[in-house]
């Protein structure tokens, strides 16, 4: 924002020009005040840039049928692990935090080309300490395990998702699949340290221009993120849509992908009404994300 310094102002006011020129200067100063007011108002409207950042692939020979109901078992599916960065408004916000490669579950996925999520951010000139917020779509290991890499981040997660993750999930007859005990302990510690906000339900603007929504039930109460960038509205769906096939055909995920298949489809229909263009709905694990948007570095695309 432009604002003239007091030094500059006093120079103008005390210089020995004629009364006529002094009047012109007053007019000039007035226009500066008006201009800085306009620019100031514009600066208050958040403007964000949004990126998808790949930090691992999988050598497992997946097909689309492994991830979307009714998808052809003959179509091979390139599976990626990624995080998303929302940059602007003096914040660097991650949506999900990825995982550390020592995690047992990663072995099943035959993880390849792994780089630690904080190292992947170097490609955008960011260090781990620069991350101000992490919005967790859900607490599965491949999305939450990396939270501890970011020492200054405040964490946002749905209250019901958090409560289930740290509590009921571990009771007999409940579901802790995809949950990791190390991550439970980490999240409890972060909550004790006052670094977690539990978001209570659907359609909440948690940060100016950034809203979260529920309904897909990928986990107990998973959420997705709508970003108003100033130019576009973008949905970062994370695993509320695993792959593009589900979105393109409005079909639920393969078994195990949601607690509510009808809700999952309804959520995708709803996402379509939120975005400025359907291509601005970004699924959680489809490698095609990295060929549909312009690359800004290897394994980094800007969603625009």
- Interface with Zn ion by CB under 5 A: which residues? 142, 239
Q: How far is CA 180 from CA 40, 53, 258, 290, in A?
A: 46, 23, 18, 28
Please identify, using beta-carbon distances, which residue of 142 and 160 lies nearer to Zn ion: 142
Rounded to whole angstroms, the Cα distance separating 177 from 184 reads 13
Please identify, using beta-carbon distances, which residue of 83 and 226 lies nearer to Zn ion: 83
57-63 contacts, C-beta under 8 A, 24 or more apart? 57/81, 57/111, 57/112, 57/113, 57/287, 58/109, 58/110, 58/111, 58/112, 59/110, 59/111, 59/112, 60/108, 60/109, 60/110
Least CB distance from residue 273 to Zn ion, whole Å? 25
Under 8 Å CB-to-CB from 131, ≥6 apart: which residues?
Answer: 92, 93, 94, 121, 150, 152, 153
Please identify, using beta-carbon distances, which residue of 142 and 183 lies nearer to Zn ion: 142
Task: DSSP letter for 253, please.
Answer: B
Please identify, using beta-carbon distances, which residue of 161 and 228 lies nearer to Zn ion: 161
Least CB distance from residue 90 to Zn ion, whole Å? 29
Least CB distance from residue 221 to Zn ion, whole Å? 16
Please identify, using beta-carbon distances, which residue of 88 and 299 lies nearer to Zn ion: 299
Q: What share of the chain is helix, strand, coil (3-state, %, to 5)?
A: 35, 25, 40
Write the Ramachandran bin of 245: left for phi over 0, alpha for psi from -120 to 50, otherwise beta. alpha
Least CB distance from residue 268 to Zn ion, whole Å? 16
Q: How many CB atoms are located within 10 Å of the residue 110 CB? A: 13
Please identify, using beta-carbon distances, which residue of 9 and 287 lies nearer to Zn ion: 287
């Amino acid at each position: 924002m432009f604002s003239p310094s007091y030094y500059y102002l006093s120079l103008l006011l005390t210089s020995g020009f004629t009364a006529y020129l002094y009047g012109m200067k007053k007019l000039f100063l007035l226009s500066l005040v008006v201009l800085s007011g306009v620019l100031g108002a514009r600066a208050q409207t958040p403007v964000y840039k949004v990126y998808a950042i790949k930090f691992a692939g999988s050598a497992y020979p997946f097909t689309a049928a492994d991830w979307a109901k009714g998808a052809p078992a003959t179509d091979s599916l390139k599976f990626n692990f990624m995080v998303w960065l929302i940059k602007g408004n003096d914040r660097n916000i991650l949506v999900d935090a990825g995982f550390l490669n020592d995690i047992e579950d990663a072995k099943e996925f035959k993880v390849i080309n792994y780089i630690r999520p904080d190292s992947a951010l170097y490609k955008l000139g960011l260090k781990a300490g620069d991350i101000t917020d992490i919005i967790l779509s859900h607490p599965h290991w491949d999305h939450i395990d990396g939270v501890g890499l970011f020492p200054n981040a405040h964490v946002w997660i749905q209250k019901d998702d958090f409560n289930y993750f740290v509590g009921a999930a571990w009771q007999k007859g409940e579901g802790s699949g995809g949950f990791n005990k190390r991550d439970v302990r980490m999240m409890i510690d972060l909550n004790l340290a006052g670094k977690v906000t539990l978001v209570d339900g659907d359609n909440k603007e948690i940060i100016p221009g950034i809203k979260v929504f529920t309904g897909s039930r990928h986990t107990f109460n998973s959420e997705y993120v709508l970003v108003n960038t100033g130019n576009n509205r973008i949905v970062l769906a994370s695993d509320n849509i695993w792959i593009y096939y589900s979105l393109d055909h409005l079909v639920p995920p393969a078994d195990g992908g949601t607690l509510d298949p009808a809700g999952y489809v309804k959520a995708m229909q709803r996402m379509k009404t939120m975005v400025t263009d359907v291509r601005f709905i970004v699924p959680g694990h489809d490698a095609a994300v990295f060929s549909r948007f312009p690359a800004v570095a290897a394994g980094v695309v800007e969603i625009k």
